[in-house]
Amino acid sequence: MTDFAATKALFQMPDGVIYLDGNSLGPLPKAAPARMDAAMRDEWGELLITGWNKAGWMAQPAKLGDRIARLIGAETGHVVLGDTLSIKVYQALASALEMVPDRRVILSDSGNFPSDLYMAEGLIKTLGKGHELRVVAPEEVEVNITDEVAVLMITEVDYRTGRLHDMARLTRKAHEVGAITVWDLAHTAGATAVDVSGAGADFAVGCTYKYLNGGPGAPAFIYVAPRHADAARPALSGWLGHEAPFAFEASYRAGPGIERMRVGTPPVLAMAALESALDIWDMTTMDAVRARSTQLTELFIDRVEAACPMLELASPRDPAMRGSQVSFRFADGYAAIQALIARGVIGDFRAPDIMRFGFTPLYLDHADVEAAAAIIAEVMQKRLWDAPEYKTRARVT
């Protein structure tokens, strides 16, 4: 049994705040400042460049990758960290397309995160081979997996509604028609009990600053299935993906396995912060987190719907069909979220009308949910959101 009271005590949270936005940026692990201070003072400060060997900086991307592998059901030695999620999407998609050279369709859905679609559009223009990005409704993905499709590129959990795709079923259908799969786990890793190996996923990518609590700008990760690890050609052939990076050869030779998906110099200080977060994840399992998450989201929906009939549930009602977030539709959703933030309940807004709330059991409990629902009820019933100061949109929503 996971002691969630113990994990909650390991995060820093401002007084008077109920944080329901860990699906966008996780809070600070209390141990992270000391870990980063040690990385700066004792490692960078004292070891200088020798830290790459003596402090193990060069091995960090693979070591942390193995720790994340446990949370996404991946095999050891097949996840590596570095760069941003958009870069990892580009890498995975480019490699996947090369594996199916006689096809031109990339299939995705309208619930995918826009950056993934943008990266696909850019890659298509760069390749100049007539590829097509075909975007369908989330409910229509399966019927559109045909023998035209080269790559199925899907974000498992819809960033707006929390709708959860069936990775195993869609991957199986893709493989039946000879397509390759690329799964974005940005709202999955640390939120649901995913099993990329069991589902047969070909590639998976994700970020570490949301549910994994690695901090703003924390590095992304990429997974390559063992059957592809030594065959996938890295489109971004950076020097640390070279078979012998310190031989400084004039031409590129891809490194072995997942190492070839490394690109540039790893973000050592950011990875130090992530280490502190993963220490907390070592105290639990994804099955325990998922069970607790379901309890919290069910309670939240029950309380909010009972008190706020003006809010329309945008997330699937069946907990098995949604991730670890709950979204409601409301025409003045932006103003409502700002009014909630002013009263200590932090969620976020996604255009055009989504009020979005994330649930991370590592630091949220039933009392937090009850208190948040009561504040939401007050803001909505009394129309406290209907004030000019809540309606001017900031750059980040």
Give the catalytic positions in this structure.
113, 184, 209-210, 356
330 is in an annotated binding site: no
Q: Which residue has the tokens 């709330």?
A: 357
Q: Which structure tokens are listed for 36?
A: 């980063």
Q: How many CB atoms lie within 10 A of CB 181?
A: 28
Q: How many CB atoms lie within 10 A of CB 369?
A: 24
133 is in an annotated binding site: no
Q: How many CB atoms lie within 10 A of CB 272?
A: 23
Report d(CA 239, CA 259) in Å as an integer.
11
**Please, which contacts does 331-336 make with residues 24 or more away whose CB atoms are closer than 8 Å?**
332/385, 332/386, 332/391, 334/390, 334/391, 334/393, 334/397, 335/385, 335/386, 335/387, 335/390, 335/391, 336/379, 336/380, 336/385, 336/390
Q: What is the DSSP string of 76-144?
A: TT-EEE-S-HHHHHHHHHHHHHHHSTT--EEEEETTS-HHHHHHHHHHHHHH-S--EEEEE-GGGTGGG
> Do 175 and 200 meet the contact criterion of CB atoms below 8 Å apart?
yes
Residue 223 pairs with which residues in a beta bridge? 79, 204
287 is in an annotated binding site: no
284 is in an annotated binding site: no
84 is in an annotated binding site: no
* Interior/surface letters 204-219, b for 16+ CB within 10 angstroms, e for the rest: bbbbbbbbbbbbeebb
209 is in an annotated binding site: yes
Q: State which amino acid sits at residue 237.
A: S
Dihedral sign, CA of 53, 55, 58, 64?
positive
**Residues tagged in the binding site annotation:** 85-86, 113-116, 155, 184, 187, 209, 239, 265
**Residues tagged in the binding site annotation for pyridoxal 5'-phosphate:** 85-86, 113-116, 155, 184, 187, 209, 239, 265
